[in-house]
Amino acid sequence: MPLRPARRRRHPARAARAARAARAARAARVARAAFVALATATVTALSAAPPAAAADTWTEVGSDRADPLTESQGLTSVEVPANSANRYTGIGTIPIGVSTRGWNHVGDPDASYDGHYIEPYQRDSGGAKMFRVQAPGGAWSEYVHTLSSGEAMNNSWVAVAPGGQWMLAGEWGTMTRLLVFPTPGVNPSTSPSANLPQAATVRLDRAVRDVQGCDFSGPTTLLCSSDDPAGTLFGMTKPLLQIDLSAAPNGTSDVTGRVTALRRLPLRSGCSGSFETEGVDWDRRTGTLRVIVLSPGFCVLTDSKTYRFTRG
């Protein structure tokens, strides 16, 4: 029987070193793969995530019932004359003489600090919007705006800038802009007998959907209520938004706006179904933010609310 060649004995220390080196190499490969996977996932998540919430937080401090006929579209606080009551809009506040001319929808109003109260109107057909203005002395006047090319017919809200000369207005749907107008009745360039022209645009850094109301809380800061039912833009439905402008609107040049979602608005009712967020008001005298939320179904009559918030 032929003899087998003798096995060469491996040196124990050398074999141990080789085994340790092999294990270290495998561990390094695993760590590199894990790091690459983690980095890729992080970049993907950051690119898809909405911007971080603003530093301010808004805490609910109370609510009042919102009447579905007269307090269902918008609201504003009026500083002049002194001790004026808060103003609300709804289908029941539209004068007969206005609705019979086709202006059958009123949006979220606002008032300048000198007491000019402004309501935005739209109608089902035609190429115009209307802003109805009450002067501090009580007299009413109407200012009509002929739609620009590509402008939506909706006239959801108005927000008068603190300086008084310029106001913003918003369209319905998914938008990346707000419209800038001279404030009717306040800006000396405006007249009820002339077209109220769009003066400039606020270019938003990201889209907003179904904004129902905005109000200035500072010279370059807007607080807005969104009726967004999908929640795909900010990771939540019905958000309260903050829009920080690059400069105060001046009517001569466009400005940009950075949009941040602050919180989801309250959705509480004895009925289940679709809520509708409506107008918003910031009262600088009390530091109170108010937002109307209409309840679903039959409960729109019973437990719709105007919610009150303060900044934390």
Q: What is the pLDDT of residues 109-125, one digit of tens each?
A: 999 999 999 999 999 98
Angle among Cα 175, 227, 146 to the nearest 5 degrees reads 45
Q: What is the pLDDT of residue 73?
A: 98
Output the pTM of the full model. 0.82
Quote the mean pLDDT of the chain. Answer: 88
With cut-offs at 50, 70 and 90, classify the pLDDT of residue 21: low
Q: What is the pLDDT of residue 304?
A: 98
Nearby residues of 276 by Cβ (< 8 Å), 6 or more positions away: 212, 227, 293, 294
Angle among Cα 162, 233, 48 to the nearest 5 degrees reads 120
CA–CA gap between residue 261 and residue 224 (Å, rounded): 10
**Per-residue pLDDT reduced to its tens digit, 180-207:** 999 999 999 999 999 999 999 999 999 9
**Average pLDDT in the 211-231 region?**
98
What is the DSSP pairing of strand 200-209 with strand 255-264? parallel
Q: Which helix (H) or strand (E) holds 77?
A: none
CA–CA gap between residue 188 and residue 169 (Å, rounded): 19
**Per-residue pLDDT reduced to its tens digit, 38-48:** 444 433 333 34
**Average pLDDT in the 55-64 region?**
89
Closest CA to 283 of 216, 213, 211, 184: 216
Give the range among 23-37, 50-64, 169-183 with minimum mean pLDDT. Answer: 23-37
Longest dimension (CA), the chain: 126
With cut-offs at 50, 70 and 90, classify the pLDDT of residue 17: low
Q: What is the pLDDT of residue 125?
A: 87
Q: Which residue has the higher pLDDT, 234 or 9?
A: 234
